[in-house]
Chain A
């Protein structure tokens, strides 16, 4: 195991305070962690404890008030807005609880979006071929030209998953990806997510309220009131 593997994701003394109408709110307090490549990490904790906030910081969508974030050898603190955008495009896939598909685009177009924004592909055909491959991978080869409103919740989340995976990111961040799905559909999504992560050796960070699901991950981080209460390997 190389050193870059052990330090794949590093957070050092992260604080996050946001000002709201009620005044300053300390959301995250002195969070430090260091994770290896290819791990599946569950973030758990009560509602409002700061799980989503922590994930935003990892994704480079939110700058911490203090502390350092390093991902795949790159210090996110040093990047400007455009740099973060590019970094995110190349390295990070995000899956949301509410899917967040673009309603006027087909499954295929939604999936292809990250590739279209990147400069890596020279032709449109190449982009859509890749997107189609990934959609086939998530079992939606028969739904390519459907719009989100024509898809079930589980199918929508598969499209979102495909979109997160299409640019072959090094890490997948998923915030309660099954929160809006029934048990059975949710389980299918999780299995798919785990399988794809294993296949490509991606790191997976997963926020969940489901203790069983958390237990299936390689590691759990428990947040309480903005602080890490304990971390445990399974």
Chain B
């Protein structure tokens, strides 16, 4: 007989006692599983959405991309002959100007230009509205129609330029009428450039006449292909790859429409999953406390069961089934809450990424959340149940049942080990980043153990101290070390939540510090791209004449690709996948006689400034990692069909975060001077002069693109902020769970507190003494926990920031101080509420009861 049936029967009878004492238990499960469900289900919707809209995100079934030049007629004919629909567009960054009524009111700002043909878009719908939000009919026909040049703008671009529909703007050498506001651009997510500026859409014809497409201008030419519904996309793709084997187009198909977005979202989801898992683990402490309290109350019954001949395994099943039933209740509420949150958030996310996917419920997401929920539930409740089984039935002959001691018996240890291993496996399976999964598990386990022993340690330390203080101090002191103290529970429940919160705050702080922080110090005010060779002098003169301009640096920009290393084709020579970006067909190359700023030579020597001789190249660390090269090896690059082989003279490390222009491959003078090239420049200028110089340059050199760092940062910070909100919500839920756990732990102490307060009052202690005593106990513990949490979180954040994100570490004392304050406030307020309740208990009633 397995005992499950009997266990279930007994469990159901036991549950007639109701949910009393399980409030915190349920809350912990609900919060934890709700967060995981919300994250997982939203992630599943995102994946489905990207999948569903893959064709419109990519812009077609297959996309060919080439820099500088349109794709040749040969490939267009090749695809056209097979009956596929084609569409071409060009993407480039450029300045857009608007004239104000007065000279001073004119504005100019960076925009991402997309020039489309009449077939755009092959998939999805391109929606444009007039000034009142009414949709335009046939927006493409309007765009391609003759007469004035027309442009559609993002709402944000309208605002930046201070123009409305019907107004005029300048782009390159042409004037355009603002004809409509872009409402939906189906393939924006699949675009090739990071979204640092708003969009403007014009016709290809207009772009060709605008003078923006100078030789060597950074423009992406895309050819989009729409297959017949039943065509095999993989086959067509490989046909193109074989028949045009010598071309270096980038080919992408609908099975991998937006890989960088997908990778980014994967990371974000993983991060959120891990934080919500932490919330669940914090809840685990609440589960443990609740189950332990419950089992302590059931000891007499367990002893009775034993005395009438119950087998140990039946009793175990009886209680595990109860916990399963109660846990399932919490889990169902958690899943429902999570789905509800996910459903509420989805319209916003969908809008943000312009996906067509409707909200859906994903069983796999629910399964993951439920598995996490159950594993945590049993991990934290098995111990108290197993320990309770050890109650001696002989105690039934006495008046009092002693609470069962927490003992790590072999059965307990084995159960913990198996459940922990399963939990780890689950984290490992759902995590796209295996390394991070391991770090997380180890970190979380160590942190849990640490905060448990922190409490033990505090008690131990206080015991070692000579007994000190009088009155309130003395009472506080004895409370911390008293047998049955909740010191460990305070450190545990608060510690883990605080750690996550600080960790997240520090990582976020460091991240935005890294992105935006260095602007004020050394970063240039502007990046300038696409300066033509014949404009370089005039450009430099303009800067030289302008006041407050400083730190002007220019460098040649030649686009090429790494063809081979020591004679071996680069695709075969590469040894680290992480550095595959080096193989792209439009790597920037430059040449210089002087060592670039913010570079440090790691190996080899920099060349003499008057070097003349066979080609030499200086490469960055990533190149060394990618190909395992050392000075003396050779690298061959291909620039517009011409090959240049150079010997590696040295290997540099570069701090990319200083916003200086830096090239992975920098050649010594002599090798590349005659290659087609444009120039890049950076310069600093007084912030007040930024707008003026921007306007000036875009008027004098319409084809030159200016990236104003402060503006780009605003766009980036906006995106970071939206992500930050999601991450912070998850972290705050972990902390809130901790607060509930703490409330539960303190409530369990309530009766003792009331009793103590009554005794102290009878002995003549003033209200003030009692309040001071309790609050200082909580304050000391809150503060110590906060200190430990900030220490651990700082270490964790430092490791993550410097080792994984590879950013510079900034210490953020503000974050740390505010954490300590939060911890203090939480413990003191929670403690204070309990204390006041205890104090307001009338003395007489209590003593009469005795």
Contact = CB atoms under 8 A, between A and B. Distances in A.
Interface of A: 52, 55-56, 59, 61-62, 81-82, 85-86, 88-90, 94, 96-98, 100-105, 109, 113-114, 116-119, 163, 167, 175
B311 to A, nearest CB: 6
Contacts of B308: 88-89, 94, 113-114, 117, 163
Closest 5 CB pairs of A and B: A89-B309, A52-B397, A114-B308, A104-B16, A100-B304
Contacts, number: 74
Given A61-B306, A85-B309, A163-B308, 6 more contacts: A59-B307, A90-B309, A94-B307, A104-B14, A117-B309, A119-B1
A102 B13 CA distance: 10
B308 to A, nearest CB: 4
A109 B301 CA distance: 14
From A55, A82, A116, name the one whose CB has the most chain B CB atoms within 10 angstroms.
A116
A88 B303 CA distance: 14
Contact of B397 (A86, A96, A114): A96
A86 B398 CA distance: 24
B294 to A, nearest CB: 13
B683 interface: no
A74 to B, nearest CB: 15
Interface in B1-60: 1, 6, 9-10, 13-17
B393 interface: yes
B131 interface: no
Interface string B293-327: 00000001101111111111010000000000000
A117 B314 contact: yes
B396 A96 contact: yes
A102 B399 contact: no
A119 B6 CA distance: 11
B17 A104 contact: yes
Nearest to A116: B6
Q: What secondary structure prevails in chain B residues at the interface with A? A: helix
Interface string B387-414: 0000011101111000000000000000
A82 B311 CA distance: 7
Contacts of A113: 305, 308, 310
Contacts of B10: 116
Interface size range on B against A: 20 to 34
Q: Which of A59, A101, A104, A118: most chain B CB closer than 10 A? A: A104
B299 to A, nearest CB: 11
Q: Which of B301, B304, B307, B396 has the most CB of A within 10 A?
A: B307
Contact of B6 (A82, A98, A117): A117
B311 A109 contact: no
A135 to B, nearest CB: 15
Nearest to B12: A104
Contact of A56 (B17, B305, B310, B397): B397
Interface string B568-608: 00000000000000000000000000000000000000000
B312 A81 contact: yes
A102 B301 contact: yes
Contacts of A59: 307
B397 A175 contact: yes
A104 B393 CA distance: 19
A62 B396 CA distance: 12
A86 B393 contact: no
A86 B311 CA distance: 8
10 contacts: A61-B307, A61-B392, A85-B312, A89-B309, A101-B304, A102-B13, A102-B301, A103-B17, A113-B308, A117-B308
Contact of B310 (A94, A105, A117): A117
B790 to A, nearest CB: 41
A55 to B, nearest CB: 7
A163 B9 CA distance: 18
B311 A100 contact: no
Contacts of B16: 104
A121 B628 CA distance: 77
Given A56-B394, A119-B1, A109 B306 contact: no
Nearest to B18: A104
Interface string B311-355: 110100000000000000000000000000000000000000000
A187 B397 CA distance: 21
B13 A114 contact: no
B311 A117 contact: yes
Nearest to A106: B13
A118 to B, nearest CB: 7
Nearest to A89: B309
A88 B13 contact: no
Interface in B366-380: none
A56 B395 CA distance: 10
Instruction: Specify which of B6, B300, B312, B393 lies most central, judged by the most chain A CB atoms within 10 Å of its CB.
Output: B393
B304 A102 contact: yes
Nearest to A97: B397
Contacts of A163: 308
A100 B300 contact: yes
Given A96-B396, A104-B17, A116 B304 contact: no
Contacts of A102: 13-14, 301, 304-305
Nearest to B304: A100
A98 B304 CA distance: 11
Contacts of B311: 82, 85, 117
A100 B309 contact: no
Contacts of A85: 306, 309-312
Contacts of B13: 102, 104-105, 109
Contacts of B394: 56, 61-62
A125 to B, nearest CB: 13
Given A117-B314, A119-B1, A100 B307 contact: yes
Contacts of A114: 308-309
Contacts of B397: 52, 55-56, 96-97, 175
A102 B318 CA distance: 14
Contacts of B303: 100
Contacts of A81: 312
Contacts of A52: 397-398
Given A114-B308, A163-B308, A98 B14 contact: no
Contacts of A98: 396, 399
Contacts of A86: 309
A55 B307 CA distance: 13
A163 B312 CA distance: 19
B401 to A, nearest CB: 10
A88 B392 CA distance: 15
A206 B140 CA distance: 102
A88 B13 CA distance: 24
Contacts of A119: 1
Given A55-B397, A56-B397, A105-B13, A82 B312 contact: yes
A118 B309 contact: yes
Contacts of A101: 304
A114 B392 CA distance: 18
Nearest to A91: B309
